Amino acid sequence: MLNYLARRTLVMVVTLAIISALVFIIVNLPEGDYLSSVIAELESQGESVDRQKIQFLREQYGLDKPLWQQYLVWVGGLVQGDLGFSFELDLPVQDVLGDRIFLTIVVNFFSVLFIYIVAFPIGVYSATHQYSWGDYGLTFVGFLGLATPNFLLALILMYAANRFFGTSIGTLMAPEFLDQPMSFGKALSILEHLAAPVIIIGTAGTAGMIRRLRANLLDELYKQYVVTARAKGLAEGKLLVKYPLRMALNPFIADIGNLLPQVVSGSVIVSIVMGLETVGPPLVRALQSHDFFLSGAVLMFVAVLTVIGMFLSDLALAVLDPRIRLTGGAAK
Amino acid sequence: MSNDPLGYPLSKIGADYLRSAIGAALCLLPLAFGTPLKGGVWLLVALALMFVLFAVRTFARQMTRVWVSDEGIAVSGFIRRILRWELLSEVTLSYYSTFRGRGKGWMQLRLRGDGQTLRLESSLEDFDRVARHAVDAARRNGLALQPSTVKNFSAMGIEY
């Protein structure tokens, strides 16, 4: 297991290093930096600029150094937990993001949980009742879910909630808890508001997962060992749970690796549409205003969340599934 | 036991030393630039230690010698173990890969019996011969193998 752990960790560390370099390059592609833009803008308006403060910020965050040194300063800060300074909002990035990082993790965690909880029974039912009315109905709903972009579903649901129920399903908590420290009441309010975003973000993933579980289980159900077990008189329910379902579950677990990037990136757009207090809205604002530290920190956070999620899913699979070597796969 | 010991050749485990070195270097890079020990840096130090441990384990494998015969299997190195085939009670052959396509992976043969466990990886010289001995012994002892183990043996051309 140490062999697997070391190799997989190395892949993860290298991936994160490459992502950090790519994020740094992409965010810095536009000419100049935020401070230069602000100085030029203020001077063109004839306003005075606090040059001492600008110089202090330049030196503190290494903006006066060559690009490769700026990258090292930025990454060095990130690993220590110093996310940098949002020049636009004149606040440390940590203060800007505040609870948003936690709320993003909560929304994504519950979205993945929702996908698994909903997809599992529906996928099993569809496979065990192939070509029944129930299977056709659920397949139709599944395709509908796959074909509908999350942000569009968010807009439709927000309109419907407002039009027919006179209520808003946007935001992740009641207005009185905004910018308040975490409390029992706030946690309860977050849980109450979670349902709509979780369903919206999870719909496409759920539909895809249902299709995959159905296909995997159908493959297993037609194998000879199932026929043999049935011929020996094993009860249908026991047969299903003991053999084919177990075999069909491995791709189900492995799929979290494909699911996470989809959920995380999908939640960014949905958060903007629904006005959720996650990292999505500050990311877009920071990218528009060239606020490097804020956009870089959010992009790295999303990347770390995805890479660690995939790492944990691979570890779970390696522990749970004594992997089968594919015929023709080269073993060392 | 046969007199020709099997080992893990450097040509096959050399890449693991390289992985350990790259992993530890990447994790310790921030410290080289004077980053103080706080926050996530501790996590990087922990990961670097894991890579060092991996290097030690690779060295232990390099020192390992395996003797296999019709009577049993013996392993020497940091730890010495001898398992007679007649006492073999469990055989597991697992396949690991860090690639999602599951190519470029490696196998691990786990043999249990007489209160001890032997783990051998497919980078061992003549791994196929060891696997064949294990399968023959499992057949003689009437052991029930996991479906994945049977399939993995089958992928090696060994039927159970």
> What's B73's domain CATH number?
2.30.29
Task: Show the 3-state SS of B5-17.
Answer: CEECCHHHHHHHH
Would the pLDDT of A150 be above 70?
yes
pLDDT of residue B17: 93
Q: What is the pLDDT of residue A328?
A: 41
Judge if B37 and B80 occupy the same domain. Answer: no
Closest residue by Cα to residue B88 from B129, B134, B24: B134
Interface test with B, best of A10, A11, A82 (most B CBs within 10 A): A10
Q: What is the pLDDT of residues A32-74, one digit of tens each?
A: 777 777 777 777 777 777 777 777 777 777 777 888 888 888 8
Contact B54 A2 (CB under 8 A): yes
Do B51 and B97 lie in one domain? The reply is no
- How far is the C-alpha of A66 from the C-alpha of A197, rounded, in Å? 42
Q: Are residues B48 and B86 in the same domain?
A: no
* Average pLDDT estimate for A229-239: 85
Same domain, B50 and B73: no
- DSSP secondary structure string for all residues of A234-295: --HHHHHHHTHHHHHHHHHHHTHHHHHHHHHHHHHHHHHHHT-SSSHHHHHHHHHHT-HHHH
Mean pLDDT, range B40-46, rounded to an integer: 86
Same domain for B36 and B78, yes or no, is no
The average pLDDT across B102-126 equals 87
Average pLDDT over residues B64-79: 90
**Model confidence band, residue B103 (pLDDT cutoffs 50, 70, 90):** low
Asked if residue B19 belongs to a domain, the reply is: yes
The pLDDT assigned to A322 comes to 55
Domain membership flag for residue B69: yes
Which domains does chain A possess? 9-94 (no CATH), 100-276 (1.10.3720.10)
- What the block records as the tokens of A85 is 């300074």
Q: Final residue of a domain: which of B39, B62, B85?
A: B62
DSSP state of A90: T
**B2 part of a folded domain:** no
Domain span including residue B74 = 65-155
* pLDDT tier at A234, thresholds 50, 70, 90: confident
Give pLDDT, residue B48: 92
Final residue in a domain of this structure, among B24, B45, B62: B62
Interchain contact, B102 vs A326, CB within 8 Å: yes
Choice among A7-21, A315-329, B26-40, B93-107 with the minimum mean pLDDT: A315-329
Percent of chain A with pLDDT over 90: 8
pLDDT at B32: 79
B121 and B43 in a common domain: no
Residue B78 and residue B54 share a domain: no
The pLDDT tens digits of the residues spanning A2-32 come to 888 888 889 888 999 999 999 999 888 877 7
In percent, the amount of chain B with pLDDT more than 90 equals: 44
| pLDDT(B1) > 60 | no
pLDDT tens for A286-295 read 888 888 888 8
- Nearest by CB to B98, which of A7, A72, A75? A7
Predicted pLDDT of residue A173: 83
Q: Are A111 and A267 in contact (CB under 8 A)?
A: yes
Question: Helix axis angle, A244-254 relative to A292-320, nearest 10°?
Answer: 160
Per-residue model confidence as pLDDT tens digits over A74-132: 888 888 888 888 878 888 888 888 788 888 888 888 998 999 899 889 999 999 998 89
Residues of B in contact with A322 (CB under 8 A): 92, 94-95, 146, 148-149
Do residues B122 and B43 share a domain?
no
Same structural domain, B43 and B78: no
Write out chain B residues lying below 8 Å of A326, CB-based.
102-103, 155
pLDDT-derived band at B49, boundaries 50, 70, 90: very high
- Reported as a pLDDT band with limits 50, 70 and 90, residue A136 is very high
Rounded to 5 degrees, φ, ψ at B29 are: -55, -45
Q: C-alpha distances in angstroms, A91 versus A71, A77, A95, A292, A294?
A: 21, 16, 6, 13, 10
DSSP A148: S
CB contact under 8 A, B98 and A4: yes
Does residue B92 sit within a domain?
A: yes
Residue A330's pLDDT band (cuts 50, 70, 90): very low
Evaluate whether B24 touches B48 at the Cβ level (below 8 Å). yes
Mean pLDDT of chain B: 87
- One domain for residues B69 and B57: no
Quote the pLDDT of residue A27: 85
Contact A324 B36 (CB under 8 A): no
What's the structural domain count of chain B? 2
What lies within 8 Å, CB to CB, of A314 at 6+ separation is: A8, A254, A257, B98
- Is the separation of the CB atoms in B19 and A10 below 8 Å? yes
In a domain, B11, yes or no: yes
Q: Residue B117 falls within a domain, yes or no?
A: yes
Residues B139, B78 within the same domain: yes
Check A331 against B106: CB less than 8 A apart: yes
How far is it, in rounded angstroms, from Cα B150 to Cα B103?
19
Contact B91, B135 (CB under 8 A): yes
List of residues 6+ apart from A312 with CB closer than 8 A = none
Model's pTM, two decimal places?
Answer: 0.76
CB contact under 8 A, B105 and A76: no
* One domain for residues B93 and B37: no
pLDDT in tens, A264-294: 777 888 888 888 888 888 888 888 888 888 8
State the residue for tokens 């013996």: B74
**Residue B160 belongs to a domain:** no
Strands (E) across chain B are located at 6-7, 65-68, 72-76, 81-84, 88-96, 106-113, 116-121
Nearest by CB to A332, from B40, B51, B106: name it. B106
pLDDT at residue B38 tops 80? no
> B86 lies in a domain?
yes
- In this prediction the ipTM stands at 0.81
